[in-house]
Amino acid sequence: MSDEHEHYEAVVVGAGPGGAAAAAALANYGVETLVLERGVDAGSKNVSGGLIYAEESAPYTIDDLFPDFREEASERPVTEYYLHNVAGDKVKTVDITDLHEHDTEWSDSVLRRRMDSWLAERVHEMTRETGGGLLTDVRVNGLLREGGEIVGVTCDEVDPIRADLVVAADGVNSELARDAGLMDWEDPEEWFQGVKAVVDMPPEVVADRFDVGEDEGVAHLFSGDLFEDVRGGGFLYTNEDSVSIGTVFHLNSLVAERAEPHELLDALLTHPLLAQWLGDDYEEREYSAKLVPDSKKVALKEPHEGRLVVVGDAAGQMQAQGPIIKGMNHAVSAGALAAEAFAEAKSRDDPSSAGRRYAKKLRSEGVMKKLRPPQYRAVSALGERDAVTNVVDGVLTSGVGRTAIKALSGQLDRLFGSPFLTSMVPDTRTSYVTLPTIIAEELGTPVREESTVEPPTLADRIGDLTYDTDIGNPHIRLVDNSVDASGAAVSACPVSAQDFGGGCYREETVTSNGDEERVVSLDTQPCVECGTCAVVADTEWEHPRGGKGVEFREG
Amino acid sequence: MGDPLDPSDYTVDELREELETVETADELESVLEAERTSKNRKTALEAIRNRLDDLGVPEAEAIEEDTDTEGEYLEAGGEPPFDPAEFDIAELGPKLKDVEDIDALRALLDAEESGENRDSVVTLVESRIDKLSESEVEGEVDPTELSVAELGNAVQNVDEVETLEAILDAEESGENRETAKNLIQSRIESVSGGEREEAEAAVPPEEKHPDLDHPTADKRHVRALEDGTYGDMWVYCETQAGALIDVSREMLGKARELIDGYNDDYDADERVVAVLVGDDVEKHAEECIACGADVVVYHEDDRLDRFQHKAYTEIFCDMARWGGDPGEGNPGEADWRDYDEPRYVVFPATNNGRDLSAQVQAELDSGLASDCSGLFIEDAVISNPVKTGQPGTNKTFERVLHMKRPDFSGFEYSTILCLDNPNREFHPQGASVIPGSFELPDPDPDLEGEVVEHDVALDDDWFRVEVTEFDQLEAGVDLTGHDVIVAMGRGIGADPTRGMELAVDLADCFEDAEIGVTRGIVTGSYNFEGHVEQYTQEERQIGETGQVVEPDLYVAAGISGAVQHKVGMDESDTIVAINTDPEARIRDFSDYFIEGDLFEVLPRLIDAIETGELDLGAVTDGGRDASETTASDEGDTHE
């Protein structure tokens, strides 16, 4: 035992829902737990589309661990859920409330700054009881190793800390999961990218425009040809006094189409379908972005290494299948199961078995089955190949296919209402673009409203965000500035755009010795820390130091 | 298969058994449907779904089971007090705590193992059984079987020192947990302490520990200050390179506020005393008074040109003791004060201030709260016997300076109090203050104050450290305070070097002009030639993450006007923007907007100024309203 560093029984890295659940559960087991959060406040780095689920089948729900959660930290329950298939101005709307309610004890919209900072206060109270606490403004930058074994964490701001258990709940761009060799940033196919606008709307206006009572809320999903050929969709959730509107796309599709995420969001915001909800008083509170792991492809089957366990987004535990997107609930389950595993391991005097026990619990409690559904494995083996997609698209767009779709009319609700079917849908153009488009074309009715929404420019959106720039210490370094290696970031980065000089990435022409060359330049000041460029460009990517960088107020 | 299974005929437990006989998913689905439309019990639905899962897609990985010594409880009979299957693990924890009967717990364990057999629940129940069986064996505490928290509780019931020491031995030879040992030791201390805590006569440390060195033994004259009188708040006002630094002003403003409140609260008439030490520092006395000092005490000597801690400490301490308790070597009468030593002293937490504060407070035999960010004065009720002199009693200390300092990267704050002991006084109460913690006061030139010169012979020995050489660190380029700033943006992209050359040429037209750039230039990939590269570095960046300037004339060439740039320059008197894009945002906050390519406009502008064709006065007086100026007419002026 070395005495040179401070020691805690458990160190939890990241105070999002996964970290909070782990820390709360550890504290309940009497484990001395230190929680480290790199933001100035928990939630200041966190973005979510905005629905948290409590599943009936889940081993833990967030209100199990934090009893007043729904009163104190969430926005509105989702009491109605619709899917809109869009083709031009034609829309076919399907009520998917049944699908939404399948296995759902409750589901609320949330804004992460409010939610996570509330959780963090509870966590701080709970962990103090057992000799720990929660620290903000501390960035964990890696794993502390001794003789090759993980024995703790190293930080930018404080001395290394030893621990018997390290819980990496450090989000989608987990530096710990990468340090441990469990995750990489290589393949855009494994990720989604979401961008979101939180739009100001007083409660009485929400009630009026969405026809909901005080304790009711609505969720809308959008798919079809809104976004050209980019695979993905849009969402709208009602909050207490705002609405969250966003778009989520497959990162590889964004890159392939050279699409600008903020323009895709604008396409949704200005669509006539949304005119009924967004008046001419559109006021955007915050623009944000986030990378989302595709659990079907990246959820770690064994999310542990030595004393390290990985939970939530960091372990790829983000279930996005068909229209249903669930992440925070799985992070909560995983966090609490990791704590359970450690308590068990400890009581059997075998702390090193915590990781193995955690992985086993993920399987036996059914979490892994949701993250990596076996039926998806069977279908996607065929379904995601381009050739198959093209054939299916061909059939669908043909007269035969269209007739078939028409014949389906009236059964769409049932079709979209089957959780088994939606978990089978392969992630291809067919399910995101072709099918919804044809459904709308054949069955849809035209929308007559006209949109008067004028979304802010990207420069304004960046200007409205709060940053504490770590001057002279950029957290991303461009390794290869050629357009071939890193040019994709110029459009894929949610705060950059072609022909826009005020963002992170831009293309510039450099003349040297008479030769002209196009290169990519990087300014990390406007960075929203989503991690997109870590995947699509050749960079050395880490998070800013504690308290530095962007600070989300809504999240 | 016979008749379809009707779930409403069964309790959940029975149903669970019945389900084992159902082999087809279809039938299970209909059972599920039946349950939904009848009793709709959550646990029943779950049981059916579990069975469905079992039958459904087979899990690839078999879950290996831990084999544990669970058999020994299996014969335990009796009814469980409740059905564990009806609760999830989070609910079970608290429920189990209410169960005191081991048999009942064994029955519970049984029920769980024959029911859902959740690992975590089994562990939970087992550990409860273990715990109860231990406490049944009186007095036997085996630390190796307990968590630190459990051990802490267990030792609270042990009053025998020998027993506790046995436990300590067991821990040491067992897991040897530091936290566990501390707990046992502190219990030993509190058990045995009862006899030891008899009030001891105050024995000076020199007599109590004759075997140790006592480097502070010569400070008797300080400790002799029993029932000393104290007054005023002293502020050490640091100067650097001949100028008063901001933190000195901040502390004076704060001290003024504190002493005003203090005088109200305690019906007193105490003062803020500013201390200036250095060469030619009396000139700052007026400003110290304007910032809130009632008295300025200064000591000037050309040998005090640079900070030297020995000399500065001697002088400060001599000032502090001046007119006070007449110990050997202490200064004589002072007509401006009537107390032994300052009540409070505050220093800046700068490099020199930290050095001085530690030295001074040690010399005055008091304490120091370093690097504070908050100060307030309040009474404090204290129960610590070291301070009260009487265990188990409270004592109110009046007029206590509460010194808040950030710990652990500011996550927590400690409030430090400097309190007298029964036999030893700790004054002045001292703090060093992090620069920027308090507001800069608005100097009030009407305030009046007394200026007192301090005079003491400076011992040559105090200057035995000689400063032979010093270097002032390059502060980088300061763009503030110039008449004109020529700022360049990404509009120079077509020929970056030429663009910067034009900026240099234009700046040369003015008497006092500097060159700035946008962040886009600093972070760009342009290849500048050597002679202009120096102008494109981060130290010349204007904007949110660079410098903020407000010159008389700001020329923004090829700058689009992002808000991050705007905050660095929009307080300039007159802003002239040159941009090819008439929609560029900078137009919104420019006084003059010239639509055009900077490579064409700048040479003409330079030419016009050099030949005297352009009346600079007209441009720099800022007299014209932006609304009167349109792109075209202003463009015409220069065409």
Cα three-residue angle A531-A536-A542, rounded to 5 degrees: 35
Alpha carbon distance A163, A152 (integer Å): 5
For the cut 80, the answer to whether the pLDDT of residue A330 exceeds it is yes
Which of A463, A469, A510 minimises the CB distance to B526? A510
In this structure, is residue A450 part of a structural domain?
A: yes
Which ipTM was obtained for this model? 0.72
Q: Does B33 touch chain A (CB under 8 A)?
A: no
Average pLDDT over residues A295-322: 92
Nearest to A533 by CA among A261, A265, A327, A269: A261
To which H or E segment does residue A121 belong? helix A112-129
Check CB contact under 8 Å for B564 and A340: no
Whether residues B87 and B184 share a domain: the answer is no
The answer to whether the beta carbons of residues A139 and A156 sit under 8 Å apart is yes
Q: Does B172 touch chain A (CB under 8 A)?
A: no
Whether residues B514 and B631 share a domain: the answer is yes
In this structure, is residue B475 part of a structural domain?
A: no
CA of A484 vs chain B CAs: smallest distance (Å)? 16
Q: Pick from B463, B497, B527: which residue ends a domain? A: B463
Cross-sheet strand order for the sheet of B484-488: B513-517, B484-488, B553-557, B574-579, B592-595
Alpha carbon distance B401, B343 (integer Å): 9
Burial classification of residue B380, based on how many CB atoms lie within 10 Å of its CB (0-12 exposed, 13-18 middle, 19 or more buried): middle
| Contact residues for B2 (Cβ-Cβ < 8 A; gap 6+) | none
In this structure, is residue A35 part of a structural domain?
A: yes
CB count, 10 Å around CB of A307?
24
Question: Helix, strand or coil for residue A10?
Answer: strand
Check CB contact under 8 Å for A520 and B525: yes
Q: Which residues of B touch A377 (CB under 8 A)?
A: none
Whether residues B304 and B448 share a domain: the answer is yes
Burial classification of residue A256, based on how many CB atoms lie within 10 Å of its CB (0-12 exposed, 13-18 middle, 19 or more buried): middle
Q: What is the pLDDT of residue B63?
A: 37
Whether residues B130 and B154 share a domain: the answer is no
**Considering only alpha carbons, which residue of chain B is nearest residue A501?**
B520
Q: Does B545 touch chain A (CB under 8 A)?
A: yes
Q: What is the pLDDT of residue A309?
A: 97
Whether residues B369 and B310 share a domain: the answer is yes
Average pLDDT over residues A507-536: 90
**Considering only alpha carbons, which residue of chain B is nearest residue A518?**
B525
Strand B513-517 versus strand B484-488 pairing type:
parallel
Q: What is the pLDDT of residue B511?
A: 92
Query: CATH number of the domain that A262 lies in?
Result: 3.30.9
Check CB contact under 8 Å for B46 and A135: no
Whether residues A286 and A395 share a domain: the answer is yes
* Winning range, highest mean pLDDT, from A518-532, B139-153, B522-536: A518-532
Buried b (16+ CB within 10 A) or exposed e, A269-300: bbbbbbbebbeeebebbbbbbbbbbbbbebbb
In this structure, is residue B472 part of a structural domain?
A: no
Check CB contact under 8 Å for B520 and A502: yes
Query: CATH number of the domain that B430 lies in?
Result: 3.40.50.620
Q: What is the pLDDT of residue B623?
A: 39
Alpha carbon distance B132, B134 (integer Å): 5
**Considering only alpha carbons, which residue of chain A is nearest residue B145?**
A347
Q: CB contacts < 8 Å between A and B, how many?
A: 125
Query: Between the CA of residue B263 and those of A52, A162, B231, B257, B272, what are the distances in Å?
Result: 56, 50, 11, 10, 11
Model confidence band, residue A439 (pLDDT cutoffs 50, 70, 90): confident
Whether residues A172 and A191 share a domain: the answer is no
Q: What is the pLDDT of residue B197?
A: 42
Which of B42, B409, B562 minimises the CB distance to A135? B409
Q: What is the pLDDT of residue A388?
A: 61
Check CB contact under 8 Å for B93 and A28: yes
Check CB contact under 8 Å for B562 and A459: yes
In this structure, is residue B223 part of a structural domain?
A: no
Q: What is the pLDDT of residue B481?
A: 86
Q: What is the pLDDT of residue B413?
A: 81
CA of A386 vs chain B CAs: smallest distance (Å)? 27
Percent share of chain B, pLDDT over 90 = 41
CA of A463 vs chain B CAs: smallest distance (Å)? 6
Q: What is the pLDDT of residue B66?
A: 40
Whether residues B402 and B499 share a domain: the answer is no
Strand B412-416 versus strand B450-453 pairing type:
unpaired
**Considering only alpha carbons, which residue of chain B is nearest residue A369?**
B59
Lowest mean pLDDT among A362-376, A378-392, A501-515, B372-386: A378-392
Better-predicted residue by pLDDT, A402 or B457: B457
Q: Does B174 touch chain A (CB under 8 A)?
A: no
Whether residues B440 and B521 share a domain: the answer is no
Q: Three-state SS across A402-468?
A: HHHHHHHCCCHHHHHCCHHHHCCCCCCHHHHHHHHHHHHHHHCEECCCCCCCCCCCHHHHHHHCEEE
Whether residues A314 and A215 share a domain: the answer is no
Whether residues B296 and B325 share a domain: the answer is yes
Instruction: Read off the pLDDT of residues A36-76 as tens digits, 9 standing for 90 and up.
Output: 999 999 999 999 998 999 999 999 999 999 999 999 999 99
Backbone angles phi, psi at B300, to 5 degrees: -115, 140
For the cut 50, the answer to whether the pLDDT of residue B228 exceeds it is yes
Alpha carbon distance A146, A163 (integer Å): 12
Question: Helix, strand or coil for residue A362?
Answer: helix
Check CB contact under 8 Å for B527 and A511: yes
Q: What is the pLDDT of residue B60?
A: 36
For the cut 70, the answer to whether the pLDDT of residue B57 exceeds it is no
In this structure, is residue B242 part of a structural domain?
A: yes
Domain residues for B550?
484-638
Query: Between the CA of residue B81 and those of B44, B78, B107, B108, B620, what are the distances in Å?
Result: 20, 9, 8, 7, 90
CB count, 10 Å around CB of A106?
17
CA B634 to chain centre: 52
In this structure, is residue B64 part of a structural domain?
A: no
Alpha carbon distance A237, A49 (integer Å): 8
Which residues are bridge partners to A310 per DSSP? A168
Q: What is the pLDDT of residue A409?
A: 67
Whether residues B77 and B165 share a domain: the answer is no
For the cut 60, the answer to whether the pLDDT of residue B140 exceeds it is yes
Which residues are bridge partners to A506 per DSSP? A521
Nearest to B256 by CA among B495, B94, B449: B449
**Considering only alpha carbons, which residue of chain A is nearest residue B130?**
A347
Check CB contact under 8 Å for A374 and B57: yes
For the cut 90, the answer to whether the pLDDT of residue A389 exceeds it is no
Better-predicted residue by pLDDT, A472 or A459: A459
Instruction: Read off the pLDDT of residues A87-113 as tens digits, 9 standing for 90 and up.
Output: 888 898 988 888 888 899 999 999 999
Tokens coding B286 = 């007026």
Place of tokens 């200036």: B276
Q: What is the pLDDT of residue B123?
A: 82
Check CB contact under 8 Å for A463 and B563: yes
Domain residues for A481?
467-551
CA of B325 vs chain A CAs: smallest distance (Å)? 45
In this structure, is residue B469 part of a structural domain?
A: no
Which of B149, B525, B564 minimises the CB distance to A508? B525
**Considering only alpha carbons, which residue of chain B is nearest residue A62?**
B90
Alpha carbon distance A68, B539 (integer Å): 51
Query: CATH number of the domain that A480 lies in?
Result: 3.30.70
Cα three-residue angle B413-B418-B420, rounded to 5 degrees: 150
In this structure, is residue A59 part of a structural domain?
A: yes
Alpha carbon distance B35, B31 (integer Å): 6
How many domains does chain A contain in total?
A: 3
In this structure, is residue A49 part of a structural domain?
A: yes
Instruction: Read off the pLDDT of residues B250-300 as tens digits, 9 standing for 90 and up.
Output: 999 999 999 999 999 999 999 999 999 999 999 999 999 999 999 999 999
Whether residues A283 and A204 share a domain: the answer is yes
Strand B412-416 versus strand B395-407 pairing type:
antiparallel
Tell me: cis bond preceding B428? Omega within 30 of 0 counts.
Answer: yes
Instruction: Read off the pLDDT of residues B533-554 as tens digits, 9 standing for 90 and up.
Output: 999 998 899 998 889 999 999 9
Whether residues A83 and A69 share a domain: the answer is no
CB count, 10 Å around CB of B509?
17
In this structure, is residue B580 part of a structural domain?
A: yes
In this structure, is residue A262 part of a structural domain?
A: yes
**Helix locations, B38-77, DSSP H:** 42-55
In this structure, is residue B89 part of a structural domain?
A: yes
Mutation target for B interface from A38, A353, A525, A548: give the one with most B CBs within 10 A. Answer: A525
* Winning range, highest mean pLDDT, from A296-305, B66-75, B154-163, B465-474: A296-305
Check CB contact under 8 Å for B90 and A502: no
Whether residues A92 and A130 share a domain: the answer is no
Strand A90-95 versus strand A232-238 pairing type:
unpaired
Q: What is the pLDDT of residue B132?
A: 75
Whether residues B562 and B594 share a domain: the answer is yes
CA B203 to chain centre: 40
In this structure, is residue A119 part of a structural domain?
A: yes
Lowest mean pLDDT among A139-148, A503-512, B193-202, B485-494: B193-202
| Contact residues for B411 (Cβ-Cβ < 8 A; gap 6+) | A133, A134, A135, A136, A137, A138
Q: What is the pLDDT of residue B622?
A: 41
Strand A319-321 versus strand A324-326 pairing type:
antiparallel
Whether residues B408 and B278 share a domain: the answer is yes
Model confidence band, residue B35 (pLDDT cutoffs 50, 70, 90): confident
The answer to whether the beta carbons of residues A50 and A43 sit under 8 Å apart is no
Q: Pick from A443, A464, A485: which residue ends a domain? A: A464
Q: What is the pLDDT of residue B95?
A: 80
Whether residues A228 and A267 share a domain: the answer is yes
Whether residues B51 and B121 share a domain: the answer is no
In this structure, is residue A545 part of a structural domain?
A: yes
Better-predicted residue by pLDDT, B194 or B417: B417
CA of B73 vs chain A CAs: smallest distance (Å)? 18
How many domains does chain B contain in total?
A: 5
Average pLDDT over residues A417-440: 69
Q: Does B414 touch chain A (CB under 8 A)?
A: no
For the cut 80, the answer to whether the pLDDT of residue A167 exceeds it is yes
Burial classification of residue B428, based on how many CB atoms lie within 10 Å of its CB (0-12 exposed, 13-18 middle, 19 or more buried): buried
Model confidence band, residue A118 (pLDDT cutoffs 50, 70, 90): very high
Whether residues A141 and A169 share a domain: the answer is yes
**Considering only alpha carbons, which residue of chain B is nearest residue A104?**
B42
CA of A404 vs chain B CAs: smallest distance (Å)? 28
In this structure, is residue A1 part of a structural domain?
A: no
Q: What is the pLDDT of residue B77?
A: 47
Lowest mean pLDDT among A230-239, A371-380, B132-141: B132-141
CA of B226 vs chain A CAs: smallest distance (Å)? 41
Whether residues A172 and A224 share a domain: the answer is no
Check CB contact under 8 Å for A523 and B411: no
CA of A550 vs chain B CAs: smallest distance (Å)? 13
Q: Considering chain B, what is the average pLDDT of its residues?
A: 82
Q: What is the pLDDT of residue B196?
A: 41
The answer to whether the beta carbons of residues A212 and A206 sit under 8 Å apart is yes
**Considering only alpha carbons, which residue of chain B is nearest residue A340?**
B120
Lowest mean pLDDT among A347-351, B61-65, B155-159, B310-314: B61-65
Model confidence band, residue B330 (pLDDT cutoffs 50, 70, 90): low
CA of B604 vs chain A CAs: smallest distance (Å)? 25
Check CB contact under 8 Å for A521 and B523: yes
